[in-house]
Amino acid sequence: MIFRFGELFCGPGGLAWAAKNASFSFHDKQYSIKHAWATDYDRDTCDTYRSNICPDTPETVVCKDIRKLDYDKLNKISNVDAIAFGFPCNDFSVVGEQKGINGVYGPLYSYGVKALAKFKPKWFLAENVGGLRNANEGGTFKKILQDLFDEGYTVYPHLYKFEQYGVPQARHRIIIVGIRKDLDVFFKIPISKIYAIKTCREAIEEPPIDKNANNNEYTKQSKTVVERMKFIKPGENAFTADIPEHLQLNIKGAKISQIYKRLDPNKPAYTVTGSGGGGTHVYHWKENRALTNRERARLQTFPDHFIFCGQKESVRKQIGMAVPTQGVQIIFQSILKSFAGVEYEWEQPNMAP
């Protein structure tokens, strides 16, 4: 059974790479997910997706603002059996004002609902930040789940803590799996306790990154930053470390914990983000520098041969906005097993639909 796979807000291809590698055989029957089409508004992001996911059919990636996209154009490319949409999370993130559904990005989830109404796939996967459940005092999350349910889907929301699934990064994301109600298929949350914790040091150093690897340029650090980093120990940031006064940050108000924060080499990394600004690039546990984009990509479990297109800052944003491919692959495999009728270890959902 092959599921033709369409994506909205596709990003650089993290979900697609996970889907592509989630196939398995059962009773001599192959279960897999095959790229059909994808769309995003950012040109570099679309180029990255084309290069790594569908180099032979670049026309299947439509680079356009979702608010101006004609869904009939997607339908002409291919029918789909499954849809994914990691709709923009800016208004739901804990970093920011949390405008929720009333923000610029909040309403964009409705284009995923519109796609379900248009294409009526057998299943879908929607992804967003953990802060989604608290936006507008929980009202946004309830409305989203209700809208998805009303389109004819049984929904299975769960807050996945990906470091518990072997991802070398503490990344918490709400994943909503939906199965069409007329199908006799039930999804169960894949169990996490069978996966070993992986540290950021293991991810970055084992095996070593080739010095000529793509997207591995070093960020030029100012003399002040280098001096400041000398006083920051692994796991500390610019506000918790004992730093001389002339090197301290003069910031009023909230002190974001990830500013000039070093990784702890014995733990998974803290969350890799796509935001810009000094001090947010994720910092090496020993060397006085920010991580390279390739090192950041390893924390997101992209393989080294996955090449990101665009200038360094564009690549950094793409990596930070992506999903950890190995973690989501486990979810895709569980969806396929659900359709195949394969039993697998599962755990109770931590969110009520």
At a CB cut-off of 8 Å and minimum separation 6, what does 102 contact?
91, 136
User: Which tokens sit at 258?
Assistant: 């990830």
Catalytic residue list contains 89: yes
126: left (phi over 0), alpha (psi -120 to 50) or beta: beta
User: In b/e form, how buried is each residue of 181-196, taking b as 16+ CB within 10 angstroms?
Assistant: eeeebebbbbbbeebe
**Residue 128 to residues 61, 218, 219, 300, 339, Cα–Cα distance (Å):** 22, 30, 29, 16, 24
Rg (CA), the chain: 20
Q: d(Cα 130, Cα 118) in Å, to the nearest integer?
A: 28
- In the set 63, 89, 200, 309, the catalytic residue is 89
**Interhelix angle for 312-321 vs 43-53, to 10°?**
70
User: Which tokens sit at 1?
Assistant: 């059974």
Strand bridging mode 29-40 / 61-63: parallel
User: Which tokens sit at 185?
Assistant: 């298929």
Other C-beta atoms lying within 10 Å of the C-beta of residue 274: 18
Q: Which residues are catalytic?
A: 89
